[in-house]
Structure 1
Amino acid sequence: MSTQTILPVDPSRVIESFKAKQEPEWMIALRTEALELAAQLELPVLEKTRIDRWNLQSFGSYKQAASIGSVEELPEHAKSLLHDGEGNADNLLIQRDSSVVYENVSDELKHKGVIFTSLENALKEHSDLVKTYFMSVVAKDENRLTALHAALWSGGVFLYVPKNVEVKVPVQALFLAEDAEASFSPHVLIVAEANSSVTYVDNYAAAGNLGGLVQNGVVEVVVKSGATVNFASIHSMDESVTDLTYRRANVDNDGSIYWTVGEMNNGNVMSDTTSILKGNGSNSDAKVICVGTGEQKLNVTTRAIHFGKSSTSDMITRAVMRDGATAIINGITKIEKGATKANGQQTERVLMLSPKARGDANPILLIDEDDVKAGHAASVGQVNPEQIYYLMSRGIPKAEAQRLIIYGFLAPVVAEIPLEKVQQQLQSTVERKLGQ
């Protein structure tokens, strides 16, 4: 028996706002159905985290932001997040609050048939293509959050790479939250056709006190046979934003998804990054770094579900916790019956810098097939005082010694990130957040 929930938004106003934008009828119907579902579904049940106690009321309302003609119109902190650090505007999309305000795609990608545009624009120009894949990897009826996202999403990214096309330069998106009353729920939809390859990088940032705004985002990646998608995302919003994100990929035969995720927010975080290895020979590699400070709470899950024969997955998560922050780090490897020769490996490690900080590492193996390989490793601990003493005995100040130990802890993950610019950004973000 379902219970009716009072939604944090006015359903009639939501639908009217998107009708005014002249969205296709199928999308209006989907939004309407999702709102009805949201009123009936429960919040997700998270390991050792009572998300129902979080403030999840401030979803804002759709507000069209003014377009910009150049990245030079962005504030300095936003320009610094572009992957080359020099305001490069090629193959770039920028969303401010509810809407996309800047798009630039190179002629080279256009000639190859690559589509890189806002999801809102793709609804108008490629409606049938969007309809095929939208909310096909993350279902709108999974829980209240996914239903609310399906109803409220705006702006967003649509990246489509045709068969046999190799995109050699990264494409990038920047998501900025600046208005406490504007909705901020981007939807990223990536489709890589057979034997194609692409690298996608995005950043989420917030400016000013946004009064408990909820970022309720979804990423869907469709990896066809033999395709490769490199996906990198860094979230660095302040404590006035609650960040809820589902990332999920469907991977076909011999396809590969490479995840790089930096959870660098200062507010509460719920993050779920999942690879569904449907095809034989499919592959997933996920690297996640988290830094918790203050009193923030993080629940970070990385998951690989194996259906295909000879499918492989590797998940590495490292978290550094300071002050009174709490982290629940979950690694889940699920090997389904019939996924023979599958190989799933995972590692979760948490380093605590304060006696008040808390970190739980939960490695989970769910194996329904005999002829497989699976393994896990997990550790939770504080900085070893003997290591600090050893470095200080060599003339290194205590603060610098601690910094070296932190980077030694994170280095095995950061060093394996294939994009040097993402490595550098993660390192600088860690330094900034830890005040080093």
Structure 2
Amino acid sequence: MTTQTILPVDSEQLRVLSERNGEPAWLAEDRQKALELAGQLELPVFEKTKIERWSLNDYGQHKLSEVIASVGQVPAAIADLVKEQQEGGLIIQRNSGAVYVKLSEELAAQGVIFTDLQTAVKEHGDLVKAHLNTVIKAEENSLSALHAALWNGGVFAYVPKNVELNVPLQAVFLTDDATATFAPHVLLIAENHSSVTYVDNYVSADLTAPVLHNGAVEVVANAGAKVRYATVHQFGEQVTDISIRRATLGNDAAIEWIVGEMNNGNTASNTMSVLKGNGSNSDAKVIAVGSGSQKLNYTTQAQHFGKNSASQMITRAVMREEASSIINGITKIEKGATKADGQQTERVLMLSPQARGDANPILLIDEDDVTAGHAASVGQVNREQVYYLMSRGISRAEAERLIIYGFLAPVVSEIPLEGLQHQLQSLVERKLGQ
């Protein structure tokens, strides 16, 4: 079925915007090509989810927010997220652009680059040009093309060869103006044998109309690099969240994805590792809580090309009220990826008769000399467990709460960042109405 794409800007408007932002000619040209593609391509396919029925045209206009001088000036909606500023670096984007950027002198002296992407294209143009839209290509579908045409603000993180960061880099993305385009792009490059931990939060506040977040994350982990990427999405009901996250891994490179899906609106996300190098490793942990009448689609993927590459994917989702979710795990082992190992687990817990969950483990194996496995389950809260706890003097509500936390604990307890653990626990409590 052909889906008509309504473009939020025309070619001339985009040209003026690029000129106003002082963008280099190569980027302005890339944006124009992407906009043209957006009018020709189809929407992406999310298994068993009809995203064409969602609000996908609420892009708004490019509007910058006023730059702030310190984290003490941030909006109340994100104050708790930045009150203990990380020693490494911090970027805050509000609506269409960055309003605060800081990197420690120590990291800068080691050659680390951490700034908003719009600044990076001017100050580090060759480096950005060589990697931007190479992991997620504009021509994949209409939404990826629109993102490539309209992205704003964003993050550019670069860690030089052999540099190991012992403090995390942090970013916060806030949308609180429904008329402003909000489409951050994160580009993270880890050179050979470097290591980095990056943490970001996506937040909305005070929205009076629908907003579409069409976001993309590109990670390039070169030979021997170690990347830990943690992200928490906690948008309100007015935000439709489409998030594509993808990493390419060189020889012996590793990425750890930690994803907290805590939105209140419709959400479709895809978190993917492309294990190109021999000995590369991907470990993805996803927890999600759905409520109200949310429609949710979470896909985690690992594509193996390298010999002796290994991937693990764990997703645990809790659905309450009338929320429905599609949980997809896809492991693809290509011909020639001998000795590859791909493991995945998807589990969904439903808290009401109206909630729906669908777990779909998929193994696509084109090589004989490999190991792969999957496990999936969907079910209600175990009534016998509830009654057992109640027989010990615990209320029904508290018994169910303990069971839910026990269900999520295998993922949350493995998160190596203590602050992120506490944050996710608080968000789970809030979503469960505790």
Q: TM (normalized to structure 1)? A: 0.98
Q: Which residue in 2 is equivalent to 1:23? A: 23
Q: Which amino acid aligns with 1:416?
A: E
User: Counterpart of 1:188 in structure 2: which amino acid?
Assistant: V
Greater Cα shift, 375-384 or 19-28: 19-28
What is the distance in 2 between the residues matched to 1:11 and 1:239?
Answer: 31
Measured after TM superposition, the shift of residue 55 of structure 1 is: 1.1
SS at match of 1:319: strand
* Paired residues of 2:202 and 2:232 also in contact (CA < 8 A): yes
Residue 339 of structure 2 aligns with which residue? 341
- Asked whether 1:380 is paired with 2:363, we answer no
Cα distance in 2 for partners of 1:263, 1:340 equals: 34
SS at match of 2:425: helix
Describe the SS at the equivalent of 2:400. helix
Structure 1 CA distance for aligned equivalents of residues 266 and 33 of structure 2: 29
Distance in 2 between residues matched to 1:356 and 1:115, nearest whole Å: 48
User: What are the superposed Cα offsets for residues 315-338 of structure 1, whole Å, 9 maximum, x if unpaired?
Assistant: 000000001101000000000000
Are residues 1:219 and 2:217 paired?
A: yes
Q: How far off its partner does 1:80 sit?
A: 1.1
Secondary structure of 1:141's aligned partner? helix
Tell me the residue number matched to 2:44: 44
1:373 partner letter = T
Q: Quick one: distance in 2 between partners of 1:338 and 1:229?
A: 25
Residue correspondence of structure 1 range 391-406 to structure 2 within 5 A: 391-406=389-404
**Post-superposition offset of 1:265:** 0.3
Counterpart of 1:44 in structure 2: which amino acid? Answer: P
Question: Is the contact made by 2:215 and 2:242 (CA closer than 8 Å) also made in structure 1?
Answer: yes
Q: Which blocks of at least 5 consecutive residues in structure 1 are unaligned?
A: none
Asked if structure 1 preserves the Cα contact closer than 8 Å seen for 2:5 and 2:142, the reply is no
* 1:90 shift after superposition: 5.0
**Aligned residue type for 1:261:** V
Aligned counterpart, 2:204: 206
2:174 alignment counterpart: 176
- State the shift of 1:14 in Å: 2.5
CA contact (8 A) 2:88 2:168 kept: no
Counterpart code for 1:38: A
Determine the C-alpha separation between the residues in 2 that align with 1:309 and 1:210: 51
Paired with 1:111 and 1:90, the residues of 2 have a C-alpha distance of 12
Q: Report if the CA contact (8 A) 2:48-2:326 is conserved.
A: yes
Q: How does 1:44-193 map to 2 (within 5 A)?
A: 44-82=44-82, 85-88=83-86, 91-193=89-191
SS in 1 for 2:140: coil
Displacement, 1:7?
Answer: 1.6
Aligned-pair RMSD on alpha carbons? 1.3
Q: Letter of the 1:361 partner, please give it.
A: A
Alignment identity in percent?
Answer: 64
Give distance in 2, aligned partners of 1:149 and 1:417. 30
**Partner in structure 2 of residue 239 of structure 1:** 237
Distance 1:23 1:114, change over 3 A: same
Q: What displacement does 1:187 show? A: 0.3
Give the equivalent residue in structure 1 for 2:291.
293
Cα contact 2:86–2:170 (8 A) shared by 1: no
Question: What residue in structure 1 maps to residue 429 of structure 2?
Answer: 431
Q: TM-score, normalised by structure 2?
A: 0.98
Structure 1 residue 2, shift from structure 2 partner = 8.3
Amino acid corresponding to residue 105 of structure 1 in structure 2 = L
Is 2:363 aligned against 1:365?
Answer: yes
Cα distance, 1:108–1:387 mapped onto 2, change above 3 Å:
same
User: Structure 1, residues 283-331: CA drift from partner, whole Å, max 9, x if none?
Assistant: 0000001110000111100000000000000000000000110100000
User: C-alpha separation between the residues in 2 aligned to 1:316 and 1:215?
Assistant: 25
Are the counterparts in 1 of residues 30 and 149 from structure 2 also a CA contact under 8 Å?
yes
Deviations 1:320-373 (A, max 9, x none): 000110100000000000000000000000000010000000000000000000
Change in CA separation of 1:267 and 1:4 when aligned onto 2, cut-off 3 Å: closer
Deviation (angstroms), 1:246: 0.4
Amino acid at match of 1:154: N
Distance 1:427 1:28, change over 3 A: same
Native 8 Å contact 2:276 2:304 kept in 1: yes
In structure 2, the residue corresponding to 1:81 is in which secondary structure?
Answer: helix
User: Equivalents in 2 of 1:77, 1:305: separation in Å?
Assistant: 38
Give SS of 2:327's match. Answer: strand
Amino acid at match of 2:37: L
Q: Determine the C-alpha separation between the residues in 1 that align with 2:199 and 2:416.
A: 12
1:79 and 1:86 in contact (8 A); partners too: no
How far residue 49 of structure 1 moved from its aligned partner, in angstroms, is 0.4
Aligned residues: 434
State the Cα distance separating 1:8 from its structure 2 match: 3.2
| CA shift in 2, pair 1:140/1:266, >3 Å | same
Q: Quick one: distance in 1 between partners of 2:3 and 2:28?
A: 24
Once residues 384 and 371 of structure 1 are traced to their aligned partners in structure 2, the CA distance between those partners, rounded to angstroms, is: 39
Query: Which one of 195, 198, 209 corresponds to residue 197 of structure 1?
Result: 195
**Post-superposition offset of 1:4:** 6.6
C-alpha deviation, 1:3, in angstroms: 8.0
Unaligned stretches of 5+ in structure 2?
none
Q: Is the 1:95–1:101 Cα contact (8 Å) retained in structure 2?
A: yes
Structure 1 residue 72, shift from structure 2 partner: 0.9
Partners of 2:399 and 2:293 lie apart in 1 by 25
Aligned 8 A contact 1:346 1:376 in 2: yes
SS in 1 for 2:81: coil
Counterpart AA for 2:36: E
What is the match of residue 261 of structure 1?
A: 259
CA contact (8 A) 1:306 1:339 kept: yes
The answer to whether the Cα contact below 8 Å between 2:87 and 2:104 also exists between their aligned partners in 1 is no
Q: CA deviation at 1:212?
A: 1.5
Residues in 1 aligned to 2:19 and 2:354: alpha-carbon distance in whole angstroms: 50
CA contact (8 A) 2:348 2:377 kept: yes
Is the Cα contact below 8 Å between 1:79 and 1:87 reproduced in 2?
no
Q: Which residue does the alignment assign to 1:421?
A: 419
